Amino acid sequence: MTTFIQLIFSGLALGCGYALIALGFTIIYKASEVINFAQGEFLLVGTFIVAVAMFSWRVGFILALLIGIAATAVIGVVFERIVLQRMIGRPPFTIIMVTIGLDVLLLTVVTILVGGTPPAAPAPFDSLNAITVGEVKFGLNAIASMIVTALVCAALYAFLRFTRYGLAMRATAIDQEAALAMGINIRTVYALAWGIAGAIATIGGVFLSASSNNALFDVGLGQSALAAFPAIILGGLDSILGAVVGGITIGLVYMLTQGYESSGFLGTNFHLIAPYLVMIVVLLIRPYGLFGKRKVERI
């Protein structure tokens, strides 16, 4: 039972990390129907900048996090402005590929900058700090990740619900042309979506890397963020609630299979593919995800 509670707790913490990453995908998709395959490397870049700020420039965690958030938000907006604005109307293939190009670029730049000496992984608390109840350890980093996810979700909800730009984003998501006709500046909405996605990526990256308990910054972080894909598929690409539910589900599936696979016959590393298997099953039953809407096709 102790193991089970421990695994559920870790699964929730990990799931919150995935939920944040999934939110980044969803916001961009909702606004502009683009899936950003470089989201994983946004995470990597953001986390790297936070690490450098914390350990080389010696600034506090909160300030470092803000610097990282600003940096990835800027990267997102700049990429959208310079590249994606020119790609509006191109087929999905082309757009996926252009984000993959960005992915390769960012990954390589970070790999070169890190070189052979990775900095420590940035985290708000020491990874050993935990509240112990009975035999279950509730890590402070994990608790922080849950609180931050809840805060980000609340902020996002408030933004979309109560602000002018949030309203514009929702309108654009529902019907681009109608939004244009109402005088909404779609370019601003796109840029805003990419900026928000970039900012959320850094938060997600820092807490994902903190909850994985790695002592060192890991260049594979962007790859592990790919596990958020099952989360968005599970929830449906265009649903914010779906992103959160999907992320937490995938986190739980991942942790539970990892915890129990050693006793089973499933071989090593089954937990790495369990989220994908869940995703494939969901796709077979509901090709547009649990919360997604089916699209009507026009010629």
Partner 1 sequence: MSTPTPVASPAPASMPAHSGLFRSSRNRGLLLGGLIVLGVIFLFGGDGWVSVLNFTMVMAIAALGLNVLSGYAGQISLGIAFFMGVGAYTAGWLGGGKPLFPGDPSGLGLSFLIWLPASGIAAALIGALIGPTALRLKGFYLAIVTLALIFIGQYLFINLQSITGGTQGRYNFPTPGFGDFTFASPVPILGLEFTTNQWFFLLLLPLLALAALFVGNVARTRTGRAWQAVRDNEVAASIMGVNLFEAKMGAFILSSFLAGIAGALYASLTGIATPTTWNLLLSIQLIAAILIGGVASVWGSILGAAFVFAVPVALNTFSLLPQSASSTGVSGGDLSAIFYGLLIIVFLLFEPAGLVGLIRRLRTASQRFDARRKGGETAAAMASSEHETPLEVERMDLARQTGVSQLPDQ
C-alpha neighbours within 13 Å on the C-beta side of residue 120? 13
178 near partner 1, rule: CB under 8 A: no
The radius of gyration computed from the CA coordinates of the chain, to the nearest angstrom, equals 19
x/- track of binding to partner 1 for residues 123-162 (CB under 8 A):
----------------------------------------
Q: Which of 4, 60, 105, 161 binds partner 1 (CB under 8 A)?
A: 105
- Token pair, residue 18, equals 């995935």
Q: Which residues of 153-190 are buried (b: 16+ CB within 10 A; e: fewer)?
A: beebeeebeeeeebebbebbbeebeebeeeebebeebb
Number of residues counted as binding partner 1 (CB under 8 A):
48
Which residues ranging from 1 to 60 are in contact with partner 1 (CB under 8 A)? 35, 37
264 near partner 1, rule: CB under 8 A: no
Find, among 27, 63, 61, 57, the residue nearest to 42 by Cα: 27
Least CB distance to partner 1 at residue 276 (A): 4
Q: Are 242 and 289 in contact (CB under 8 A)?
A: yes
220 near partner 1, rule: CB under 8 A: no
Closest CB to partner 1 among residues 226, 241: 226
294 near partner 1, rule: CB under 8 A: no
x/- track of binding to partner 1 for residues 224-253 (CB under 8 A):
--x--xx--x---x----------------
Least CB distance to partner 1 at residue 39 (A): 12
Find, among 226, 233, 262, the residue nearest to 249 by Cα: 233
Q: Which of 57, 63, 101, 131 binds partner 1 (CB under 8 A)?
A: 101
Report d(CA 256, CA 254) in Å as an integer.
6
256 near partner 1, rule: CB under 8 A: no
Q: Which of 2, 60, 269, 294 binds partner 1 (CB under 8 A)?
A: 269
290 near partner 1, rule: CB under 8 A: no
C-alpha neighbours within 13 Å on the C-beta side of residue 88? 12
**Strand residue runs (E) in 74-128:** none
Report d(CA 201, CA 280) in Å as an integer.
25
Closest CB to partner 1 among residues 256, 273: 273
Query: Strand pairing partners for 139?
Result: 130
Report d(CA 60, CA 53) in Å as an integer.
8
Q: Which of 83, 167, 219, 256 binds partner 1 (CB under 8 A)?
A: 83
Least CB distance to partner 1 at residue 237 (A): 7
Least CB distance to partner 1 at residue 228 (A): 10
108 near partner 1, rule: CB under 8 A: yes
Find, among 121, 132, 127, 159, the residue nearest to 144 by Cα: 127
Task: State the residues that interact with partner 1 by CB under 8 A.
Answer: 35, 37, 83, 86-87, 90-94, 96-98, 100-105, 107-109, 111-112, 115-116, 223, 226, 229-230, 233, 237, 267-270, 272-273, 276-277, 279-280, 283-284, 287, 297-299
